[in-house]
Chain A
Amino acid sequence: MKKFFLFMLFAGFINSQSLDKPEKKFEQLNNQYDKESLIVDSLNSAFTKKAEQIDSEKKKNNPDKAFITELMASSVTISNNLEEHNNKVQKLEKELDNVKEQLNRIYIAKIDSLEALKKLGKEDEDKLNEEILTYTGKRLLVAPRILSLSFNPDKVLRIDLNKTKDSKEKALYREYLNNALGEVNSLLNNVNQQSSEVDQIASLQSKTEKFLEEAELEDKVLFQKQNVTSSSSSSSTGPDASFGGVGKTSRDFANQVKTYQLILRQLDIDLISKPDINMEVSFNKTNKNISVKDYLKLLKEVKKRLQEFKLVLANKIGSSR
């Protein structure tokens, strides 16, 4: 009965979210985006052609200055056009991201509600499975892109610049390693920034709780608050602990969690993993339920692994000089 009530509550919420409007908007924005991207590509190519023409004319013994001026003038027009369309593309990208996020949420809710229906066993399971598959397919199209390491850490660690066959191979591998190092550095910057922000949030949260506990005890009268369920004074480890006081990170952080967990998995390779590593953030925690404290632990772990990996990369690049 309880499950049925929850389901009804849940289903009511989901049904109120119409799919038609955002799906149509998504399609329309996609078409516009494709169109604008084509224009940008063609303008880019025209601009490159003009630039080449100018270069080639300049290289001639007797360059035609009037022709060069004409070419430059038309280049400026193309460049202005290009900028205008680039702006449009960027604006469309932002709008598309918003609609994708909205659709992703609705699809997840739909899939969850269909799964719940399946569990109740009152509907045709095959039909439900088919619907789940359709929505899963649709969801994959709009799911947020998970940024992870673009290189293969395992492969990177097997590269030895001193054992390359020739200078060309060495140069190629060096470039690969440098790119990997650049990516690791950039990730480390992101993690540091996130870590410092979340650290401050966690510290502020725990100090506020302490301040409130003191205030409750410091009532000048004998009696303590009757308001026993005051939400502001809930325990830091309790269900209310997280950003803004609710036991769950917001979507922005939740998406980051997935990314960092994936990076951790990628970096969890023989050469750098230690047998005594204390993996405090479990991989099976989903974005549905992770606290600030857990997120901070995850960031620290990712930072540690990235620093180790950076060290290995820097050694590999440095040792061959």
Chain B
Amino acid sequence: MKFKFLHVKHIAQIALLFFSSVTYSQVDWHLSGETGFFKASGDETLQKENTLSLFDGFLKYSYESEKRTASLSLRARPEFYGFSNAVNFIKLKTEGDYYQFEEKFNWGLNISRQVNFFKQQNDNLTYNVFTLTGSATWFYFDNMPVNTNLGYAYQVIKNNEEYNLDLLFFDCNLYNQLNTYLRLGYGLYAEKFFIKNTIEIMDTNSNHENNGWRFGPQLSLNYLKNFIINIDYKFLLQDSKFTKNFSYEHLIRIVTGKIFFTDWSAFLLVDYNTISLKKTSDYIEGITPLYTPLNYENRIYFKIAYELSNNFEIFTKAGYFKNNLYENKFSLEGWNVTLGIEISKGTD
């Protein structure tokens, strides 16, 4: 190593860089619109076959300095299913995060709030979710970072009835970087949930409560080089006032994608979830609240995009989905295909 040429002036320059805090801020945004067809079955709300139009507006402000980043984003997403007797959704989401990078660990906070408005001819419904998560990644073991998350979330669904869910969750993952591009993760997930529902029985509102735990191991595999593949698996046991042993869930998510011919990209998402709950003898169907997560959506979702320029993209999306909603009270199955455009500003 040759440092002979590093005179006092150079040392001063380096020292200046050492202690200076370079910051920059950036605004990213995108607007997109897509239209296509969907075919659904198993639910009365949506007609069996119809057109579909989705719009999405997103705005994000990011601030970055040498040791910390912060961002605030807003998103609005109107969705229209059909023309006559249309079913309309408006999804609004705002999210903020702050992360700080220390020498041997990173930590951060994320806060998000989403409100979905659902409107049909004679039916209105709002869905409200709030999440606060504290995260930390520790680098004490060489090439084996440990990631921990601790958070609180609530979810309220309201029409003439009300479904409340509060969660406290914790997860911890140890990642093993097998090589530059391949990583394995193993960890634990635990969640304490509280349910309080107000439902209408014989024109009278009545309150019903339940609380319990979901916990179990989780595994992940991530490969990222010429293509990406992420596989996440959770096996969770569930214990609550109205469930017995052995109640469990399998949650699998596979995401894969590739950029090809420079401007083309293709991504695929597969969600597969199963749930098996053994109910106690005092369980009453349709009344006793159980934690059957509200959207155990099994689906295959695919997107191909072509970048015409840095700010302009055309894409097509296709998906098959099967949702078993709230204790199978509702279910929805079908597929959709759309074609859309997106204009954006910001860095990828």
Tell me whether A239 and B22 are in contact in the complex, defined as CB-CB below 8 angstroms, given that A244-B181, A246-B177 are known contacts: no
* 8 Å CB contact of B180 from A211, A252, A286: A252
Are B294 and A244 in contact, CB atoms less than 8 angstroms apart?
A: no
Determine if A129 is an interface residue (Cβ-Cβ < 8 Å): no
Which of B9, B106, B224 lies at the interface centre, i.e. has the most chain A CB atoms within 10 A of its CB?
Answer: B224
Stretch at the interface among A84-92, A177-185, A230-238: A230-238
Tell me whether A13 and B13 are in contact in the complex, defined as CB-CB below 8 angstroms, given that A231-B232, A244-B222 are known contacts: no
Q: Which bracket fits the contact residues of A?
A: 35 or more
Closest residue of chain A to B293 (Cβ to Cβ) is A226
For the complex, give the distance between the alpha carbons of A233 and B177 in Å. Answer: 19
Determine if A152 is an interface residue (Cβ-Cβ < 8 Å): yes
Which residues of B48-70 are within 8 A (CB) of A? 54, 56, 62, 64, 66, 69
Determine if A279 is an interface residue (Cβ-Cβ < 8 Å): yes
For the complex, give the distance between the alpha carbons of A45 and B125 in Å. Answer: 88
Which residues of B163-180 are within 8 A (CB) of A? 167, 169, 171, 173, 175, 177, 179-180
Closest residue of chain A to B334 (Cβ to Cβ) is A220
Nearest Cβ in chain B — how far from A57, in angstroms?
Answer: 47
Determine if A229 is an interface residue (Cβ-Cβ < 8 Å): yes
Nearest Cβ in chain B — how far from A267, in angstroms?
Answer: 11
For the complex, give the distance between the alpha carbons of A240 and B332 in Å. Answer: 34
Stretch at the interface among A22-30, A58-66, A69-77, A196-204: A196-204
Determine if A35 is an interface residue (Cβ-Cβ < 8 Å): no
Closest residue of chain B to A265 (Cβ to Cβ) is B14
Chain A residues within 8 Å of B203, by CB: none
Which of A109, A220, A253 lies at the interface centre, i.e. has the most chain B CB atoms within 10 A of its CB?
Answer: A220
For the complex, give the distance between the alpha carbons of A41 and B255 in Å. Answer: 54
Which of A232, A244, A253 lies at the interface centre, i.e. has the most chain B CB atoms within 10 A of its CB?
Answer: A244
Which of B110, B141, B228 lies at the interface centre, i.e. has the most chain A CB atoms within 10 A of its CB?
Answer: B228
For the complex, give the distance between the alpha carbons of A54 and B183 in Å. Answer: 57
Are A224 and B17 in contact, CB atoms less than 8 angstroms apart?
A: no
For the complex, give the distance between the alpha carbons of A251 and B234 in Å. Answer: 29
For the complex, give the distance between the alpha carbons of A105 and B143 in Å. Answer: 10
Chain B residues within 8 Å of A289, by CB: 101-106, 139
Which of A154, A229, A266, A270 lies at the interface centre, i.e. has the most chain B CB atoms within 10 A of its CB?
Answer: A229
Nearest Cβ in chain A — how far from B132, in angstroms?
Answer: 10
For the complex, give the distance between the alpha carbons of A228 and B155 in Å. Answer: 11
Are B103 and A211 in contact, CB atoms less than 8 angstroms apart?
A: no
Determine if B44 is an interface residue (Cβ-Cβ < 8 Å): no
Chain B residues within 8 Å of A245, by CB: 183, 222, 224, 230
* 8 Å CB contact of B97 from A205, A218, A235: A235
Determine if B220 is an interface residue (Cβ-Cβ < 8 Å): yes
For the complex, give the distance between the alpha carbons of A239 and B127 in Å. Answer: 29
For the complex, give the distance between the alpha carbons of A286 and B125 in Å. Answer: 51
For the complex, give the distance between the alpha carbons of A228 and B71 in Å. Answer: 19
Closest residue of chain A to B15 (Cβ to Cβ) is A283
Are B143 and A146 in contact, CB atoms less than 8 angstroms apart?
A: no
Are A269 and B259 in contact, CB atoms less than 8 angstroms apart?
A: no
Closest residue of chain A to B173 (Cβ to Cβ) is A231
For the complex, give the distance between the alpha carbons of A234 and B232 in Å. Answer: 13
Determine if B194 is an interface residue (Cβ-Cβ < 8 Å): no
Nearest Cβ in chain A — how far from B339, in angstroms?
Answer: 15
Are A239 and B106 in contact, CB atoms less than 8 angstroms apart?
A: yes
Determine if A139 is an interface residue (Cβ-Cβ < 8 Å): no
Chain A residues within 8 Å of B97, by CB: 235, 237-238
Chain B residues within 8 Å of A9, by CB: 140
Are A246 and B267 in contact, CB atoms less than 8 angstroms apart?
A: no
* 8 Å CB contact of A204 from B91, B153, B228: B228
For the complex, give the distance between the alpha carbons of A205 and B224 in Å. Answer: 8
Determine if A262 is an interface residue (Cβ-Cβ < 8 Å): yes
For the complex, give the distance between the alpha carbons of A155 and B335 in Å. Answer: 68
Stretch at the interface among B205-213, B239-247, B280-288, B295-303: B295-303
Are B2 and A268 in contact, CB atoms less than 8 angstroms apart?
A: no
Which residues of A248-300 are within 8 A (CB) of B? 248, 250-253, 262, 265-266, 268-270, 273, 278-280, 282-286, 288-289
Which residues of B198-252 are within 8 A (CB) of A? 220, 222-228, 230, 232, 234, 251
Tell me whether A239 and B131 are in contact in the complex, defined as CB-CB below 8 angstroms, given that A212-B255, A230-B253, A289-B102 are known contacts: no
Are B71 and A240 in contact, CB atoms less than 8 angstroms apart?
A: no
Are A240 and B14 in contact, CB atoms less than 8 angstroms apart?
A: no
For the complex, give the distance between the alpha carbons of A219 and B56 in Å. Answer: 14
Chain B residues within 8 Å of A224, by CB: 114, 116, 127, 129, 295
* 8 Å CB contact of B295 from A225, A230, A284: A225
Determine if B75 is an interface residue (Cβ-Cβ < 8 Å): yes
Tell me whether A268 and B13 are in contact in the complex, defined as CB-CB below 8 angstroms, given that A201-B225, A222-B89 are known contacts: yes
Chain A residues within 8 Å of B183, by CB: 243-246
Which residues of A129-177 are within 8 A (CB) of B? 146, 148-149, 152-155
Are B137 and A246 in contact, CB atoms less than 8 angstroms apart?
A: yes
Are B230 and A235 in contact, CB atoms less than 8 angstroms apart?
A: no
Chain A residues near B (Cβ < 8 Å): 6, 9-10, 13, 105, 108-109, 146, 148-149, 152-155, 197, 200-208, 211-212, 214-215, 217-232, 234-235, 237-240, 243-248, 250-253, 262, 265-266, 268-270, 273, 278-280, 282-286, 288-289
28 contacts between A and B (CB under 8 A): A9-B140, A109-B142, A203-B259, A203-B348, A208-B257, A219-B295, A220-B323, A220-B332, A220-B334, A221-B325, A222-B89, A223-B127, A223-B294, A224-B295, A226-B294, A228-B167, A232-B255, A243-B180, A243-B183, A244-B181, A247-B139, A247-B147, A248-B139, A268-B14, A282-B66, A283-B14, A283-B17, A288-B104
Supply 10 further A-B pairs (C-beta < 8 A) apart from A237-B97, A250-B180. A6-B140, A217-B56, A220-B40, A221-B294, A226-B294, A244-B175, A268-B10, A282-B18, A285-B66, A286-B103
